Amino acid sequence: MTSKFLKVTIERGAAAKNAQQVFDVPAHESQTVLDVVSWIQQCADPTLSYRYACRVGMCGSCAMMVNGVPRWTCRTHISKVLDGNAVTIGPLRNLPTIKDLVVDMDPFFDKWVAAEGMHHGGRTREHPIAPVDEKSAARIEASAGIECINCSICYAACDTVAGNPEYLGPAALLRAWTLLNDDKDEGRDAILAAVSGKGGCHNCHSMGSCTAYCPNELDPMSAIAGLKRETTKSFLGRVR
Amino acid sequence: MLSLRLYVLQRITALLMAPLVLGHLAMIIYATQGGLSAAEILGRTQGSVLWHLFYGTFVLAVSIHAAIGVRAVVHEWVGVKGVVLDVVMWATGLGLFALGARAVWAVTFA
Amino acid sequence: MNAAKGIVSRAHPLWLAYVLHRLSGIGLAVFLPFHFWVLAMAMTAPARLDAFLAMTGAGVVKLAEFGLVFLLAVHMFGGLRLMALEWLPWRPSQKSLAAGAAAASFLIASLFLLKAV
């Protein structure tokens, strides 16, 4: 590191109306973006609000815009994102800001529900457990999809979400695709109907920002393509 | 904003147009050699049922395709929604079709 | 300015392919009515059509024509790329597909320009 101090600009949302505030933060080896934000809150300005929990990339609560790019701040080294010795940190895009770096995740999770992103069970305790073939193509898709940590980075990265508030977004649609491929889920018709609505998968333009920025290296864009295929097939099946 | 029906229509017209565009591009490169004239164009197309069908299909497909495309762009980048969005889509499609049909008619049968 | 900076900071190859597809689509949609209107002159005003066609030989117009052919080619190949990645269950490497589509479009447009001059 060239300088002993980092020039950190915080875009404080909501009440402060994105007022930019600059802090000098001591630089350290192996420092994450979250460490930097925490230092500001603990040592410079205790009124700064931000959100985190696990600090190891599991809980999905610490995502922020870092130099205009959505990132999980607990697993992002500051040295990787510094522009010279400066960095700009703001609240996640495409979600309403509550205060400073904290956004309201309600619209994000409401869309999970709207995409039928919940379990559709058909069996009772009397039934045997559904057999799962872990090598089947469908299970491989489902096993990848369940690694989503609901951090909303894909949602913040997506320009289609930005322009089309009804659009369910990559995370909710990836969830729908995961359930569609899960042998234990029996909600196929409900899921296909939910992702074919006004804000459904057909609004996606495959710009791929979801896949490019997913911190867990998941592929929502291809999942949405899968939904497009399945809904198109069932649509053409109905027409015939 | 884009329903399953519009999505399918958009893709079907796209698939239909892919060979038409290639034909049109080849035609452009061939026809523009040594300059263009009205007589040359008409000599090729006048009274030809084949050209009429080729460009007639093209105009119909492009009207549908462009109308749906404009719908997406106008909604996402301009913020138009609701009934106005439907009006914009239909006006684009019908307008393009009217102009296109008139042009095809002009160079084939008129 | 800030918004533009934000957009550029998130740019990546597939995103650029999306923007190119959208802009070429808008370009074509704007151009088509003029194209149809001029062609219909064959019926309404043949002399004006000939005067217009004579203009197409000029250098600046040639460049504009190159642009139009490029728009058409880039929109078609970009669209084929899109349908391939939506409907063929391919995995990654769509970046090369995007680059290939742009390259093929450029090739066709250049071919047109070379033939035309």
User: Which chains neighbour A (Cβ–Cβ under 8 Å, 3 or more pairs)?
Assistant: B, C
- Judge residue A127's burial from the number of C-beta atoms within 10 Å of its C-beta, 0-12 exposed, 13-18 middle, 19 or more buried: exposed
> pLDDT value at position C5?
63
> pLDDT value at position A1?
47
Residues in chain A within 8 Å Cβ distance of C8: 68
* Among B47, B60, B77, residue whose Cα is nearest residue B20: B60
Instruction: Please give the CATH topology (third level) of the domain spanning C12-116.
Output: 3 helical TM bundles of succinate and fumarate reductases (1.20.1300)
Q: Which CATH architecture has domain A106-239?
A: Orthogonal Bundle (1.10)
Average pLDDT in the B58-74 region?
A: 97
> pLDDT value at position B32?
76
Residues in chain B within 8 Å Cβ distance of C44: 106
CA distances from C36 to A190, B55, C21, C39 (A): 45, 11, 22, 5
> pLDDT value at position A11?
93
Interface test with C, best of A66, A80, A207 (most C CBs within 10 A): A207
Q: Which CATH architecture has domain A5-103?
A: Roll (3.10)
Q: Report CB contact under 8 Å: C18, A208.
A: yes
Nearest-Cα distance to chain B for A33, in Å, is 32
Q: Are the C-beta atoms of residues A155 and A108 closer than 8 Å to each other?
A: yes
The model's pLDDT over B21-35, given as tens digits with 9 standing for 90+, comes to: 988 988 887 887 777
User: Chain B residues contacting A, CB < 8 Å?
Assistant: 1-8, 11, 72, 75-77
Nearest-Cα distance to chain C for B44, in Å, is 13
Q: What is the pTM of this model?
A: 0.90
Interface test with B, best of A164, A168, A201, A235 (most B CBs within 10 A): A164
The minimal CB distance from B38 to the residues C33, C50, C76 is found for C50
In this prediction the ipTM stands at 0.91
Residues in chain A within 8 Å Cβ distance of C17: 207
Structure tokens at C66: 């190159």
Distance CA A159, CA A205 (A): 9
Average pLDDT in the B54-83 region?
A: 96
The dotted CATH code for B4-108 is: 1.20.1300
Q: Report CB contact under 8 Å: A69, C91.
A: no
Residues in chain B within 8 Å Cβ distance of A197: 3
Distance CA A82, CA A76 (A): 11
Domain positions in chain A: 5-103, 106-239
Average pLDDT in the B36-60 region?
A: 87
Q: Report CB contact under 8 Å: B4, A198.
A: no
- Ranges of chain A whose pLDDT falls below 70: 1-3, 15-18, 240
Interface test with A, best of C23, C86, C91, C93 (most A CBs within 10 A): C86
Q: Are the C-beta atoms of residues A229 and C86 closer than 8 Å to each other?
A: yes
By CA distance, what is B38's nearest residue in C? C50
> pLDDT value at position C116?
60
Domain positions in chain C: 12-116
> pLDDT value at position A155?
98
Within 8 A by CB and 6+ apart from B79, the residues are none
- Ranges of chain C whose pLDDT falls below 50: 1
Distance CA A65, CA A101 (A): 9
